[in-house]
Amino acid sequence: MGYFIQQLVNGLTLGSIFGLIAIGYTMVYGILGMVNFAHGDVFMIGGFISVITFLVLGLFGLTWVPFALVCMLIMSMLFTSLHGWAVERIGYRALRNSNRLAPLISAIGMSIFLENYVQLLQGARNKAITRMLAGGFQLLEDSSGFTVQVSYMQVIIIGTTIVLMAGFALMIAKTELGRQQRACEQDMRMARLLGVDVDRTISLTFIMGAALAAVAGMIWLLYYGIVDFYVGFLAGIKAFTAAVLGGVGSLPGAMLGGMLIGLIEVFFSAYFSTQYKDVAAFAILVMVLIFRPTGLLGQPDVEKV
């Protein structure tokens, strides 16, 4: 029982990361109907910017942990969202009305470019930072003597994710921007006729998705202590799987899917095999697409002729 709860905590932590990335996929898919393949690499860039901010802060001797964490969060969100914006502006905007495959191929090119860009600029070896926040507390001890450990870092990660997701859901539901986004998602041409600045809305979508991915990148860095240029590929695919599992286009679905993928991966490694955990993730993706292409919370989409 204790072992199970321990894995549950670990799974939720990993799921937070996937959920945050999945929101970016799902929002872009909802509005543009394209898979932003480069989103995983935007997440990776978020991790790198966190490392660099951490080192810059170290240069000035500003190592008080809460301050450093907030600084890393802000810088990472700021600069990564700029990258997200640039990806859309350069790679996708011109292709908005083109055939379906062109934006996807452009996105794959963008992904290859970003991976190699970071590899060339920052080196191929993984970047490790010292643990910023050590320690934790004992949640409970079961009858067999297994103690469930929760680190402070895990508390911060899950807490941050919940706060961000709640704030984000509120923004989509209540603000002017959220309304415009939902309008674009339903019918872009009609939204434009009614005075919504579609270009601006799409740009903001990419910026928000990238900002959330940046948080995920920073969490990844803090949780695992390392980041490398290739980390975005697999994490991106898993997050995409999460978005599909939850139902592409649905925000609660992305969060749910992220949590599920995190839990499945952790439990699969814990009870079956660590070697095949990535195979499990891909198998889920394939299964979901075959048996329930609309995902758990998605709307079936109607094919228009």
Partner 1 sequence: MAVSEIAVAAGSRLERPFVDILKDAAITGAVTFALALPLVGFQTVDQTTAIVLRTRFPELFYAVAVIFLGRLLMLLTNAGLARPIAAATGALSLLWLANGFFDVFEPPHMVLGWLTWIADTVVALRAALVMRRRQVAAAGYLRSDFGEHVVVMVNRLGGWLAPFVAAFAVALPFLPFADQRVMDIGIAILTYVMLGWGLNVVVGLAGLLDLGYVAFYAVGAYTYALLSTKFGFNFWEALPLAGGMAASFGIMLGFPVLRLRGDYLAIVTLGFGEMIRLILLNWSDLSNGARGIGDIPRPSFFGMPFTPAPPEGVVAFHQYFNLDFAPIHRVIYLYYIILLLALVTNFFTLRIRKLPIGRAWEALREDEVACRALGINPTNTKLTAFAIGATFAGFAGSFFATRQGFISPESFNFLESAIILSIVVLGGMVSQIGVVVAAVVLIGGPEWFRDLSAYRMLAFGALMVAIMVWRPQGLLAHREPTVRLNDPKRAKPS
Which residues make up the interface to partner 1 (CB under 8 A)? 34-35, 45, 48-49, 51-53, 55-56, 58-59, 75, 79, 82-83, 86, 90-91, 94-95, 98-106, 108-118, 120-123, 125, 127-130, 233, 237, 240-241, 244, 275-276, 278-279, 282-283, 285-286, 289-290, 293, 303, 305
Name the minimum Å distance from CB 64 to partner 1. Answer: 19
Its sign, for the CA torsion 51, 57, 61, 66, is negative
Residue in the block written with tokens 């690499």? 41
Rounded-to-integer distance, Cα 257 and Cα 174, Å: 23
Name the minimum Å distance from CB 279 to partner 1. Answer: 5
Its sign, for the CA torsion 206, 208, 213, 214, is positive
Contact status, residue 169 vs residue 251, Cβ threshold 8 Å: yes
Name the minimum Å distance from CB 26 to partner 1. Answer: 14
Name the minimum Å distance from CB 204 to partner 1. Answer: 16
Task: Please classify residue 291 by burial: count the beta carbons closer than 10 Å to its beta carbon, then call 0-12 exposed, 13-18 middle and 19+ buried.
Answer: exposed
Name the minimum Å distance from CB 234 to partner 1. Answer: 8
Strand 147-151 versus strand 136-141 pairing type: antiparallel
Residue number, 95 or 196, with CB nearest to partner 1: 95
DSSP state of 94: G
Reading the block at residue 58, the tokens are 């170290």
Query: Nearest-CA neighbor of 37 among 266, 235, 259, 249?
Result: 235
